[in-house]
């Protein structure tokens, strides 16, 4: 028997967002949502509960009451709410978040981006310094070159 498209989408959401499945697709009051982060709060600042929606239509109507209820329920569990949405005609996926949650995620992404760039710039500066003084083949410069090759391998 072929898996229904809405169920396949729920599985995709669980896999893509690294969330756990729920009992009976979240229909139990003690295990709601279609995908949920069951980690301990100390393990992540971004624990989500997702209510995935699938439609074959070209539009999907959002209900403010439903969104507020989900946000409140997620907050009570120490989580954030997201509503993944798939338009089945072309398997186009979108996600609805509160603006505050999106802003916080964006800030973390930007901070990480800047930090990674700073690390890279520092590495390049050290490489330039080493190239300037290439007649000194010390143990520390060999160690640095090993570290640099590892970082370049991660790109």
DSSP string, 131-148: HHTTT---HHHHHHHHHH
Buried b (16+ CB within 10 A) or exposed e, 36-45: bbeeeeeeee
Q: Give the model's pLDDT for residue 72.
A: 94
Q: Give the model's pLDDT for residue 28.
A: 47
Residue 38 dihedral angles phi and psi, to the nearest 5°? -95, 10
Q: What DSSP state is assigned to residue 29?
A: T
pLDDT tens digits for the chain (155 residues)?
888 888 889 888 989 888 888 655 544 454 578 888 887 878 888 889 999 999 998 888 999 999 999 999 999 988 999 999 999 877 789 999 999 999 998 998 888 766 655 666 666 666 656 555 555 556 666 677 667 766 766 65
Q: Give the model's pLDDT for residue 98.
A: 94
Q: Give the model's pLDDT for residue 61.
A: 92
Whether pTM > 0.75 for this model: the answer is: no
Q: Give the model's pLDDT for residue 6.
A: 87
């Amino acid at each position: 028997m072929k898996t229904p498209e809405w169920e396949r989408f729920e599985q995709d959401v669980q896999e893509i967002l690294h969330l756990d499945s729920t009992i009976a697709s979240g229909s139990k009051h003690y295990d709601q949502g279609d995908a949920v982060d069951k980690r301990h709060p100390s393990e992540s600042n971004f624990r989500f509960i997702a209510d995935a929606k699938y439609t074959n239509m070209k539009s999907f109507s959002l209900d403010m009451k439903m969104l507020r209820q989900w946000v409140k329920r997620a907050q009570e569990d120490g989580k954030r709410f997201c509503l993944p949405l798939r338009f089945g005609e072309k398997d186009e996926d979108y996600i609805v978040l509160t603006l505050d949650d999106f802003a916080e995620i964006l800030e973390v992404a930007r901070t990480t981006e800047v930090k990674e760039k700073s690390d890279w710039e520092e590495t390049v500066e050290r490489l330039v310094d080493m190239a300037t003084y290439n007649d000194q083949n010390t143990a520390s410069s060999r160690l640095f070159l090993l570290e640099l090759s590892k970082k370049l391998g991660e790109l």
